[in-house]
Amino acid sequence: MNGSHIYVNGSGEENYADFFVPVYSSSEVLERLSWRKRTEEQKPYKAMYSSLIGGITLDQALMVIPIDDHMVHRGHGVFDTTMIMNGYLYDLDSHLDRFLKSALKAKISPPYPPKTLRNILVQLVAASKCKKGSIRFWLSAGPGNFLLTFTGIAKPIFYAVVIEQDLHQLSEGVKIITSTVPIKPSKFATMKNVNYLPNVFAKMEAEEEGAYSSIWIDEKGYVAEGPNANVAFITKNKELVFPLSDKILEGCTIKRLQLLAQNLVKKGVLKSVCTRHITLKEAKNSAEMMYVSSLLPILPIIEWDKQCIGDGMVGELTMILSDLMWEDINSGPEARRICVPYNLGE
């Protein structure tokens, strides 16, 4: 029998006197999942690949992973993200390389060689028909038990999902705070793993204070990074500075920006580009500040702990750097942009 009986206690709170949980057949479970998809707001998930089934599904109701997957119940997994812009995958190889480095650190062996993983991701985007958005991919220790380690598990699993998003250049500045959430140890900060609870808390802490996000400071007092983005500064003498810390995840977009910014040094727009330690005091006294990450790729920061950065306005050099990044995304070299074969299989 399905249903429940509810009574109200003296304080006005509802309580369940009885609650009968139905037992569904396989077909009924699939129907319930499909029903949820039909009744809920449509999600922008266009396609999913899973090496568990060895293929792609376009049905959002079937974009699921096993509950005994060690990425779910132990957080033993790594991930990465790449932008899709106007039918091109931007900088996929850099992200895939970082992904494999994270996997090595996490002691997870991919089920396929790098070229096969790359091919799967390109075919997944093609099947999704998505022209603008992102592709997120994960490597899990795999399903098979609820133990702490993955001993006895057949093999790791590769997952990927294409998400349709309206990605565009960001020109409005945001406010941030210094995070009080403990920073991750170097071993975990430099590995892009799915253990993101500190990152979640750091973002939530900022939102609770009316800010966009936050910045971590390491135990030596040097600026590290944000919960899901690197950070960069322009000093008052026009030096572009990227923080140096062993608590920072290697940023693919940062590396690309460092290279592109050298053109501004040659033109005399910037004095120099460097990576060095930067204290909280020096950082707050910079002329301009920005978040740098794959899907932003640059987001101006105008206030930190209620203190204006520079004149409190979006910086001119920040937007020049943003223009450089977007030009690279939209019309950069072929080595950085993979044309997605959307007519594949037709």
Which residues are the active-site residues? 192
DSSP 273: E
Token pair for 183: 């920073």
Assess contact for 184 and 147: CB atoms under 8 A: no
Return all residues near 61 (Cβ < 8 A) that are at least 6 apart. 30, 33, 34, 36, 37
Residue 198: is the preceding peptide bond cis (ω within 30°)?
A: no
The alpha helices in 129-251, defined as continuous H runs, are: 186-189, 197-208
Sign of CA pseudo-dihedral 129, 346, 118, 87: negative
CB-neighbour burial class of residue 224 (10 A; exposed 0-12, middle 13-18, buried 19+): buried
DSSP 193: B
Assess contact for 149 and 142: CB atoms under 8 A: no
The alpha helices in 195-290, defined as continuous H runs, are: 197-208, 252-266, 280-284
Cα separation of 92 and 225, whole Å? Answer: 22
CA distances from 172 to 22, 34, 127 (A): 50, 39, 34
